[in-house]
Each structure stands twice: as structure tokens, then as C-alpha cells.
Structure 1
Amino acid sequence: MSKKNRRNADRPAKKKRVIIPFVERPFEDLAPEAELVAMREILPLATLEATVSAEHGGEALTLTTILPGMASAIRREDGVLLVAVQTVMSSGDASLDIATSILKGLELKPGSSLEISEQPEPGPRLQDVIASFGEFTMYQQPDFWMTPEEAAKPDNQQALADSREQLVPTRAIAGVPGAYWCRMSHEFVRYVRPESRDAVLDALARMRTAGTASFDESRFIGAFRAQGLLIPVWQLQAGSEADELEKPMAKFAEAFDAAIASTEPLTADEKRARAGIVSRQVTLR
């Protein structure tokens, strides 16, 4: 045997990578599915309170959109456990990824953080780990990363303000769950719908054909798929603010709900409108 072959024989075999099956709708059957999808895909700063099942210790924790340095989890100095929904690593099953961060994060000591860069092994998912969910909250700056005492320090206040400047301004539309205003090159509304994609597509097709697929002089520009749900998008009039949309969007939401609930077959024109919407769909992960 040559020296090269002997060296190769002495090397330990690489651990075989386990293939995690892709899950199209990873948060299905969880009550805050739409909020989790929004946190994973479009919201810069939000939290969702949760409690781990008794089997895993029954601890209360806070799910967050992101954490400093894209950490997977942080145990604050006051003992509060923060677990990120947006992570560097993605296995194809977001529910598994987050559950893995939770279970590893439960072992953290105060003041320490967790970084996961490798794909997790098959194991419990959020549906197996979380016993209940609590309040969902959006923020304009990430002061929840720290204890109130830490966040009050001048240096930290400046750091938090700097972090805010790097994020897309985003606000929830009051009274319309799942609807989020944001300001980028223009102002937009992105509307996370919890119903099946087919039902939402049919509704959009009905409304486009009827000329009712907009509100407050907005323009429906398409929809994208994210974690198994559909997120329609409207471009707003320049300078539009979130609080100006409450009444027009509330009225629009009623019509949208009715269109989604309809079981009437699509007409030929509606089918053509649906095909046009589908052709412009984009998938996020």
C-alpha cells in the first residue's frame, strides 16, 4: 500500500450528512402560523412569547426575528431566553431548525449565546416542543435584545439606534392581522394570509377581474410564496403611512375574506387572471 493510500486509510470516515426532507408548510397546525411566517420572511423586528412543553422543562421563552450577530439563541443576563426565527442555517424545515435552537438554547447560561452553522439532525419540531404561544409584538428598535437596565445605558442606546437604521421600516396595519406596511424604494403593504394558497389565488383572481383588488389608490403588483403561505403585495401612493391605511384596509379585508370563502367556480376571465398572478409568483425559500 502506498503512503498516500495508508494516510487515507487512517483518516476517520466523514460523517454522512443526513438529508432533511423539505417541508413546504413548516408551521402548519400552529395557531400563530401567519405570524411565524411573517417573522421568518418579512419582519425585521418582532417577538412571539412561547412556553416549552413540560417534557422539555416548561420554560417560558421569547422567539425573535433576529439576534445580534445572527446568533441562534441568547440567554440574557436576567435569564430570559431569546431564540431567533431567522437563522444563518436553513435545513429545508424551518420548524425543525427553530426547535433545534430552542432545545440547545435551554442549556445556555445567563450572558451566553448559541451559534448553529451546521444542519441539524432529524428530531423534534416546533409542533413537538412548544406547549403554547403568547403575545406577538413588533418593535422599531431591538431593545428587547437586552435587559431594561442595559438598554437604558447611553452606549447601548446608540448601538440600538444604529441597528434600527439598517432595517426596513415596517409597521402592522391596526385591525388587519397579517397586513404590514413597509417603506423601501416605495411604500408597500404585504399581507400574509393563513388560508391555503389556492383559496387566496382564487380570491385575488375574482377581485382583479371585478376591479376590486386594491384599496386607497394602491396597486396590486403580485404575490410571493413563503413557508407554504401566499403573501400578496400592493404598492401604495408615495408617502403613504401605516395609520392612514387602517380604515381602507379594514374594508378591503372584509371583501377579501368573502372572496376567499367563496366556493363558486372561476369564470374564464377569472381563470386567466389567476394564471397571470401565478406566472409572477416568487418563492422565498
Structure 2
Amino acid sequence: MGKGARKKGPKQASDRKPKVRDVFVGQPFEGLVAEPELIALREFVPSATAELTLADGGEVTLGTVLPMAAAAFVRSDGRRYLGLQVQTRSSDISRDLGRSLKWLLDAKEGDVLGVPDTTTPPAADEHARLQDLLTPGAELDVTLHQDFGWWLPEDADATGDVAVSLERANAAIMPTERLGAGAYWVLAGEKAHLRWVRPEPENLLLQALARLSAAGELGLGEGSRYAGSFRAHGLLVPVWDLDPEAHAREWAEAKDALGARLETALKSLDDEPLNATERRARDGLIGRQLTLR
């Protein structure tokens, strides 16, 4: 240590950078009517957009994937996009999306937010979770796209990194059709599936599915098979394997009929607990689960 140098002491509390408390939130979209749809768009829908209904009246478009997996960006024509499928996140997806949305409302044409800000503490009066910024009772009017051309204004051409990102994203799209809120048919190579994000608590939903399974009513008809379920952001997502030769529209009526049977089974649980056969069916369903985060 040179002459006159002073040894630095420990940082004072006022010098330390405050940190965001990173607490895992298992059901980040809880309280929003659009919760199943948000989970579907984040987890397995390839290319889709939906207009968000903001509590303050602002206009923002939600997108599944943005160029170079950005968290948010403002298109050259001024249209604002918030990305759902973002690689870097904290343990509260809703907070990440809320903070990206607040950034977006003040951004200018051409601005891009690569990743959500997960380290800077919010101001004391800042409401940064998605639930604080959206109208809670609003549904999502989802538009599916066959490619990611919506990244660009009409008649604009992609260049540079955006062109590369666009080509890769388009190549990864699997044919997908929406069959209802949170319910999507997808053709994955030689297999077709129905993935249906359900809003009910997992325990109740499993009991209702078990009741249908024990009664032989869990399928969607000929060419279908119940494959299992996975958890995503606090909700259960049942999955059915479907005949890939049949078009998505051919399953719509069967899906609605299954939904009606499921609602009846859910209501019956109030008065009639599962019997032994149904409990065994439930145990079998539990054994066919996979958790995704």
C-alpha cells in the first residue's frame, strides 16, 4: 500500500445497492381471468398475439416470441409489443412482465428491451406486477399466426439480426389451432395433441378427471387417448394424443363435449366423494404427471 493510501473500510449500509427480494411465485398469473391463456401462450403456443387491456387505457400487444427473444420492443411504426417467452427471468414471471410493460409504455420507436430488469428495486409506490397493470376481468382475444411476419410493419423487410431471428423462428413453428380458452391442438411431427390449461385447483381437477376415467369418459372419441398432464405455473395441463390425420376442427365438438362432462364431474364432487375405483384412477393419473417451470 503506497504512502498516504487509506485502507477502505466496509461499505456503509447507504452505499450498498438494494436488491430485489427474489421469492418464487408458483402461480404468477393468479387472479387474472386470462390465466390459462397466458400460460398456454408462454409455454407451448408458437406464434400468437393478443391486445392487452391495460388499467390506464394504454395500448400494448402481447406476443409469444419477439425478435431475438426480446422482453419488449417498439416497432418502427410505433406499435408496442410485450414478449411472453423470455429466456431470462426471476422467480416471479408476473413481476418481470409487469416491469417490462412499464418500460414499454415509456419507450420510443425502435427501442428494444433485451431482458427484463430483475435487479433494480421498484420505487415504493410502483406497482410492477402484471395484475397491477391489466384489467383483471379481461379475456384475451388471441390471434394465431402461421409465421412471425407480425414482427414487422406491413411491407417492411427484415434485415440483419432480425432477419436471422425471423428465419429461425419461422422454421420452428408447428401447426397449431386454438379450440377454446387455454386449449390448443398442435401437430408435432407425426403426432397431434390437445393441450388444455385448466383453471381449477389441481386436486379438484384430478378428482374430476379420475371420475371420468373410471367411467370410460375421459377420451375425445375414436383416434384419441388421454396421455397425461403436466404442471405449468400453478395450473394443471391435461394432454390428449390425437389422430394426426384428422384436422383440428374435427376435434372441436368432442372437446366441448368433454368440457361439459368435466364440469358435471367437478360439480358432483361436492356431494359425492370418489369411490375406490375412482381413487385408483386418480392415483394412475398422478403417476402420469410431469412438472414444467
Under a length normalisation based on structure 2, what TM-score does the superposition of the two structures give? Answer: 0.83
1:169 and 1:84 mapped to 2: Cα distance? 20
2:216 and 2:277 mapped to 1: Cα distance? 12
Aligned-CA RMSD value:
2.9
Q: Give 1:235's aligned residue.
A: 241
From the superposition, tell whether residues 199 and 10 of structure 1 become closer, same or farther in structure 2 (CA, over 3 Å).
closer
Contact 1:141 1:161 in 2 (8 A): no
Q: Secondary structure at the match of 1:148?
A: coil
Q: Secondary structure at the match of 1:266?
A: coil
For residue 8 of structure 1, report the CA deviation from its aligned partner.
8.2
The within-5 A match list for 1:56-71 is 58-71=57-70
1:11 and 1:166 mapped to 2: Cα distance? 49
| Paired amino acid for 2:185 | W
Q: Give 2:48's aligned residue.
A: 46
2:148 and 2:163 mapped to 1: Cα distance? 10
From the superposition, tell whether residues 211 and 8 of structure 1 become closer, same or farther in structure 2 (CA, over 3 Å).
farther
Contact 2:72 2:100 in 1 (8 A): yes
The C-alpha deviation readout for 1:42-74, integer Å capped at 9, x for no partner, is 1111122113333xxx32101111101010101
Q: Give 1:279's aligned residue.
A: 287
For residue 11 of structure 1, report the CA deviation from its aligned partner.
9.3
1:220 and 1:178 mapped to 2: Cα distance? 17
| Paired amino acid for 2:64 | T
1:244 and 2:250 correspond: yes
For residue 29 of structure 1, report the CA deviation from its aligned partner.
1.5
For residue 249 of structure 1, report the CA deviation from its aligned partner.
1.8
**Count, aligned residues:** 276
Identity, % of aligned positions: 37
From the superposition, tell whether residues 268 and 149 of structure 1 become closer, same or farther in structure 2 (CA, over 3 Å).
same
1:203 and 2:205 correspond: no
The within-5 A match list for 1:90-101 is 90-101=89-100
| Paired amino acid for 1:53 | A
Contact 1:199 1:260 in 2 (8 A): yes
The C-alpha deviation readout for 1:138-182, integer Å capped at 9, x for no partner, is 2111222121232699xx999856632212221112xx4322111
| Paired amino acid for 2:202 | R
The within-5 A match list for 1:132-171 is 135-150=141-156, 163-171=169-177
The C-alpha deviation readout for 1:243-268, integer Å capped at 9, x for no partner, is 22122222222112212222220111
For residue 270 of structure 1, report the CA deviation from its aligned partner.
1.1
Contact 2:36 2:199 in 1 (8 A): yes
Q: Give 1:75's aligned residue.
A: 74
Structure 2 unaligned segments of length 5 or more: list them: none
Structure 2 counterpart of 1:194, from 177, 194, 199: 199
Under a length normalisation based on structure 1, what TM-score does the superposition of the two structures give? Answer: 0.86
| Paired amino acid for 1:187 | A
